[in-house]
Structure 1
Amino acid sequence: MNIDTKYHGTVAVKEEDIIRFPHGLPGFADEKRFVLLPLADTPFVILQSVKTPALGFILIEPFSYFPAYEFELDEAMVEQLDIESERDVAVYVILTVADPFDNTTANLQAPVVINARKRIGKQVILTNTAYKTKHRLFPEKAAT
């Protein structure tokens, strides 16, 4: 099927590439189907709504930028995502892209967790953590 996207124009996607978010995303409860699209020549991907062309979030795999980043999913979350093995889990964080780009931040408090094998996702809000919604992606280049 073809979908219209925020960053890629019209693209063909396969039904098996669609990730279901049964409860939507915070603030977007009606958005339940997304695809991951690579952002050319970057480590970033777009979490693109299948339904709404203008809705696309820029994501990164956080562990390359924040090597000490870690959290545990509670049993209810593991069950919601139908996770059987740690190998099935993909973790991303949403970026807030800034100008200049060196001021871009990552939301480590609310990672997007995907069961890559079963194509089920959820944005998890971490509580009782030091993680915030705005961690500089490039702290060494922070504007003064």
Structure 2
Amino acid sequence: MKIQTKYHGQIELKNEQLFHFAKGLPAFESEKQFVLLSLEEESPFYVLQSTETADVAFICVEPFSYIQDYQVQLSKQVIEELNITSNEQVAIFVLLTVKEPFMETTANLQGPIVLNMKKQKGRQFMMNDSLYQTKERIFKQSVVKGEK
């Protein structure tokens, strides 16, 4: 299948690359099918791209390299909905709000994207009882030029 994307132009996809989001995403409930694409080669950043609407694309990252003690406790409902039977099936991403300068970029740590990589299902999981925020800075301050 060919789709038009926001960051990669037109691309060809295989069915095994597609993730079904039964409920869509908050504010994008009608968008049910996404693909996860590397933003750039060898980049830690990804694009969660709708297969229906080219402009519906979210920059995301696996949070564990940036927030070392980040924890996601999935509810029984999410585990059942995504048919999760082992931790190895699960990938967790957080959506970014990209800002200038880039070090000011924030992540939605309260609402991670949960993907069952084996069953090709996904969902945004809102952790309402967590201490995490929807706009948390995750990048360390850069060193000022000239300082060591």
Q: Distance in 1 between matches of 2:72 and 2:122?
A: 16
Q: TM-score, normalised by structure 1?
A: 0.95
What SS does the corresponding residue of 2:34 show, helix, strand or coil? strand
Q: Distance in 1 between matches of 2:93 and 2:3?
A: 22
Residue 35 of structure 1: aligned partner: 35
| Higher-Rg member (1/2) | 2
Instruction: Report how many residues are paired.
Output: 142
What SS does the corresponding residue of 1:140 show, helix, strand or coil? coil
Residue 83 of structure 1: aligned partner: 84
Q: Distance in 2 between matches of 1:64 and 1:121?
A: 21
Q: Distance in 2 between matches of 1:56 and 1:76?
A: 26
1:29-71 alpha-carbon deviations (Å, 9 max, x no partner) = 1000000110114210000000001110001000001110002
The aligned amino acid for 1:75 is K
Q: CA deviation at 1:94?
A: 0.1
Residue 138 of structure 1: aligned partner: 139
Q: Distance in 2 between matches of 1:63 and 1:16?
A: 25
Q: CA deviation at 1:74?
A: 1.3
Residue 124 of structure 2: aligned partner: 123
Residue 24 of structure 1: aligned partner: 24
What SS does the corresponding residue of 1:82 show, helix, strand or coil? coil
Q: TM-score, normalised by structure 2?
A: 0.93
Is 1:48 paired with 2:49? yes
Residue 60 of structure 2: aligned partner: 59
Q: Which moved more, 1:5-14 or 1:131-140?
A: 131-140
Q: Distance in 2 between matches of 1:135 and 1:141?
A: 16
Identical residues among aligned pairs (%): 46
What SS does the corresponding residue of 2:58 show, helix, strand or coil? strand
Which ranges in structure 1 are unaligned for 5 or more consecutive residues? none
Q: Distance in 1 between matches of 2:23 and 2:142?
A: 37
